[in-house]
Amino acid sequence: MAIRTRFAPSPTGFIHVGNLRSAIFTYLIAKKENGTFVLRIEDTDQGRLVEGAVNAIYYTLDSCGLLWDEGPDKGGEYGPYIQSQRMDAYKKYALELVEKKEAYKCFCTEERLASMRESGYAKYDKHCLHLSDEEVTKKVAEGLPFVIRQKVSEEGSTSFTCQVYGEISIDNKEIEDQIILKSDNFPTYNFANVIDDHLMNITHVVRGNEYLTSTPKYTLLYKALGWDEPTYVHLPHVVKEGGKKLSKRDGDAYYSDFINKGYLPEAIVNFL
Ligand code: GLU
């Protein structure tokens, strides 16, 4: 099987060296087997977009020699490679999940959700899961805004295997009925990554270990859609001496911080 990996940064600022480290592994896993390295821009969180960030991504990867085979500027068979241009696909699959009763429309207002949290709920209380089909049709006809939530069983557990961390299992009752499509039709990251990794035929998903706890949600989505899961590779974070986190304040978080201090791209890549 031909290996396809992707680096999927969000254009929210400069590239963090932790992200760059993920990109290096993603690139090497593909190239070691003559595979394909895809660049996908994840811009569905429109409030966090930063002007010039896409160019910073191109520039950083380019200067580090991490040349992508498919991407927004290169094209390829699985485009478009910018999530905001793939909105139809997210909506289509979200509605398919509603149809299959694996997801549901939720009309809860911000006020209701806030008061739920204040009363101590750690996750959504499934209020709208219990609406009848007639009630849902009526609310939609009234023009009430809604989101689409993934329906997660309260029973059993969900497991997946990561090539680095091994088998990980989580009780389903810990998993929230997360929002997959927002009321403005934009998908959440947690939904879009699954749809795109499948549609782009990604074989190995390589990313930071902060995504380990969300992965069971993805496993459930793949299952609900009847799709095979990719191989997961979660990477530990790069830290400094004493296990301390790299930080913006200390000027050691971004690739550009090191370049500004005079480090050569080759040295940074070598270190990472
Ligand atoms: N857009 C996510 C980020 O920038 C990508 C995570 C992933 O690789 O799935 O953190």
Please, which residues have CB within 8 angstroms of residue 236's CB and are 6 or more apart in sequence? 164, 209
Q: Is 207's C-beta closer than 6 angstroms to any atom of ligand 1? A: yes
Quick check: pTM over 0.85?
yes
Please, which residues have CB within 8 angstroms of residue 232's CB and are 6 or more apart in sequence? 160, 161, 162, 163, 204, 205, 215
Q: Is 216's C-beta closer than 6 angstroms to any atom of ligand 1? A: no
Going from the C-alpha of 231 to that of each of 19, 213, 259, the distances in angstroms are: 19, 16, 33
Atom of ligand 1 nearest to the CA of 9: 4
**Separation CA 10–CA 99 (nearest Å):** 30
Q: Which of 92, 240, 244, 248 is catalytic?
A: 248
Taking CA atoms only, the protein residue closest to ligand 1 atom 10 is 9
Q: Is 86's C-beta closer than 6 angstroms to any atom of ligand 1? A: no
Residue in 47, 130, 42, 121 with CA at minimum distance from that of residue 86: 42
Residue 22 Cα to ligand 1 midpoint, Å, equals 10
As given in the structure block, the two tokens for residue 83 are: 């999530």
Taking CA atoms only, the protein residue closest to ligand 1 atom 4 is 9
Q: Is 8's C-beta closer than 6 angstroms to any atom of ligand 1? A: yes
Tell me if residue 261 is catalytic.
no
Q: Is the dihedral of CA 129, 133, 135, 136 positive or negative?
A: positive
Q: Is 196's C-beta closer than 6 angstroms to any atom of ligand 1? A: no
State the distance between the two ends of the chain, measured CA to CA, in whole angstroms. Answer: 28
Residue 140 Cα to ligand 1 midpoint, Å, equals 33
Atom of ligand 1 nearest to the CA of 207: 8
Over its length of 272 residues, how does the chain's per-residue pLDDT go in tens digits? 799 999 999 999 889 999 999 999 999 999 999 999 999 999 998 889 999 999 999 999 999 999 999 999 999 999 999 999 999 999 999 999 999 999 999 999 999 999 999 999 999 999 999 999 999 999 999 999 999 999 999 999 999 999 999 999 999 999 999 999 999 999 999 999 999 999 999 999 999 999 999 999 999 999 999 999 999 999 998 888 888 888 777 778 899 999 999 999 999 999 99
Q: Is 35's C-beta closer than 6 angstroms to any atom of ligand 1? A: no
